[in-house]
Amino acid sequence: MNLNSRTKKTLRSVLVVFSIVFFSSSIKTIFQVFFVLMAESFDQTRGSFAISASVFMIVFGIASPIVGFLADRLGPKRVLIAGLQTAGIALLGCAVLSSYGAFVFLYGIAASFALAAMAYVPTGILVDRTIPEKYTGIVYATLTSGAAIGFIVLSPVWVFAQEYFHWRQVLCAAGLTFLLPLQILASRYLPDLQSKQPRPTSGVPIVSALLDLFASRIFLALSLSFFGCGVTMAFIDVHMVAHFQDIFLTPPQVAVVMVVFGASELISSFVAGWLCDRLPIGYVIAASYALRSAALFLLSMMSNFAGILIFSISFGLSYMGTVIGTSTYILSAFTKERRGLALGSIWMIHQLGAFLSTQLGANSFDIFGSYHLVIIIVSIFSMLSAVISLMTLPATPENLKKNPSG
């Protein structure tokens, strides 16, 4: 195969993965926008309905190291296709079944596992196996920017769809999109990149690998800071739109804020990738957490439209700095055989923080009638992550592959 042909195939696979990441954002953004309407439809308080989101967060965390292990062994293509199939079936089930218990199972468990199989972990493995190391930061940023563009494009669509469609109709359309065009594209154009290593015959190798990971000081530092990332992300994914509605932003204002947020997130993707390829990654991570903490503190102080726009820009600019920075650090610090598992495991820690934030936000609203206290707590968590990253994480991950226990 000549160079030109390989380049075309690589570009084609990048476009397909970008499309998958772009639309996979709808799994969270539909829930985010329709959160209050869904709760009312099932006759649930926000606290009780948030159980479905909390289950989603926990399952995503559990699924992430499993997805990473499978991506290491089976290749990212098979994992991505399994995610597309599961997402389509889960969303169609949510659209058809009227039981809240069924919704918790299908959205909280099945759709969560599907998103893990379409998100940062298999994407990182695909980039690692197809892109030269000096370009991994910017290519990974390009792919993960699909989520930001999905946020920009799809979130306003869902906001305005509230006026014309039931949330079940929206979920039905999304489920069919996963099952038909996206699965066909993935099956046809993604490379089959299976590991050449022998597959394990028992559960011992993954247990041993996990023990090695958690014995690493580097991994522990990344995990502790990424826990704070999960705390802040869950507030955005579950409670942000509800908070905007509670302070009486109109649907057009909410749509504008989400477009601004998504555009800032998109810029953050490329800036973070560019910075991680050129500057000490540890500093990029710490700066992103600090900016996010300042943005959340601002939100707690200013509830007018102008203040929320400033928050959206500031938080959005920090959004992918922590994700891309942490992922790039892992890809540089750990051996090829352990990268998928390391990425998946750190997302498990991330989701523990997300679970805490999801329930804390919902229960706090049920008790106090607002999200103000939660916003302050989340801001503190983000600042702690900045301090941990700056004080305990080596600025660069070079030479750690030889001594991953750090």
pLDDT tens digits, residue range 318-375? 988 999 999 889 988 887 777 888 888 998 999 999 999 999 999 999 999 999 999 9
Separation of alpha carbons 288 and 299, rounded Å: 17
Mean pLDDT of 200-210: 61
Is residue 64, in this structure, part of any structural domain at all? yes
In this structure, the chain runs to a length of 406
CATH number at residue 283: 1.20.1250.20
Contact 102, 93 (CB under 8 A): yes
| pLDDT at residue 103, as a whole number | 98
> Considering the domain boundaries, does residue 2 fall inside one?
no
Taking only the tens place, the pLDDT of each residue in 288-327 is 999 999 999 999 998 899 999 999 999 999 988 999 999 8
Print the domain residue range for 384.
Answer: 11-189+205-392
Enter the pTM of the model. 0.81
Classify residue 97: in a domain, yes or no: yes
pLDDT tens digit sequence for 129-185: 888 777 777 788 888 888 888 988 899 999 999 989 999 999 999 999 999 999 999
Give residue 2's pLDDT: 56
Q: Is residue 4 assigned to a domain?
A: no
387-403 pLDDT tens trace: 999 999 999 886 454 44
Residue 405 falls within a domain, yes or no? Answer: no
Where is pLDDT greater, at 94 or 14?
Answer: 94
Q: Give 3's pLDDT tier (boundaries 50, 70, 90).
A: low
Q: Please identify which residue in the block is written with the tokens 């804390």.
A: 360
pLDDT of residue 200: 47
pLDDT computed for residue 7 by the predictor:
79
Give tens-digit pLDDT for 227-252: 999 999 999 989 999 999 999 899 99
Average confidence (pLDDT) over 41-47: 93
Q: Which residues make Cβ contacts (< 8 Å) with residue 383, sequence separation at least 6?
A: 289, 290, 293
Residue 203's pLDDT is 47
Band (pLDDT 50/70/90 cuts) for residue 205 is low
For the cut 50, the answer to whether the pLDDT of residue 198 exceeds it is no
The three state secondary structure string of the chain is CCHHHHHHHHHHHHHHHHHHHHHHCHHHHHHHHHHHHHHHHCCCCHHHHHHHHHHHHHHHHHHHHHHHHHHHHHCHHHHHHHHHHHHHHHHHHHHHCCCHHHHHHHHHHHHHHHHHHHCHHHHHHHHHHHCCHHHHHHHHHHHHHHHHHHHHHHHHHHHHHCCCCCHHHHHHHHHHHHHHHHHHHHHHHCCCCCCCCCCCCCCHHHHHHHHHHHCCHHHHHHHHHHHHHHHHHHHHHHHHHHHHHHCCCCHHHHHHHHHHHHHHHHHHHHHHHHHHHHCCHHHHHHHHHHHHHHHHHHHHHCCCHHHHHHHHHHHHHHHHHHHHHHHHHHHHHCCCCCHHHHHHHHHHHHHHHHHHHHHHHHHHHHHHCCCHHHHHHHHHHHHHHHHHHHHHCCCCCCCCCCCCCC
Average pLDDT taken over every residue of the chain = 89
Quick one: pLDDT at residue 301?
Answer: 93
Quote the percentage of the chain above a pLDDT of 90.
Answer: 64
Count of CA atoms in the C-beta half-sphere (13 A) of 209? 23
pLDDT in tens, 217-229: 999 999 999 999 9
Q: How many domains does the chain have?
A: 1
pLDDT, position 396: 87
Residue at 83 is within a domain: yes
Q: Is residue 5 part of a domain?
A: no
Buried b (16+ CB within 10 A) or exposed e, 132-154: eeeebbbbbbbbbbbbbbbbbbb
* pLDDT score for 195: 55
Confirm whether 397 is domain-assigned. no
